[in-house]
Structure 1
Amino acid sequence: MDRNTDELCARKSFSKRKLRTPVDVEDVRREVAIMRHLQNSVSIVSLRDAYEDDGAVHLVMKLCEDRALFDRIVVRGHYSERAAAVLTRTIVEVVHLCHQHSVIHHDFKPGNFLFANKKENSLL
Structure 2
Amino acid sequence: MWRDVVFVGVGGAIGTALRAGLTLAVGDGLGSALVPLINIVGAFLIGILFGWRSRMPASSRAQRAQLFLGTGVLGGFTTYSALAVEAAGPGLLWWGIGSVVLGTGAAWGGLLLGRGGRTQR
Shorter-chain-normalised TM-score: which range? Answer: under 0.3
Between structures 1 and 2, the one with greater helix share: 2
What's the TM-score, normalizing by structure 1?
A: 0.28
The higher relative CO (CA closer than 8 Å, separation ≥ 6) is in 2
Between structures 1 and 2, the one with greater strand share: 1
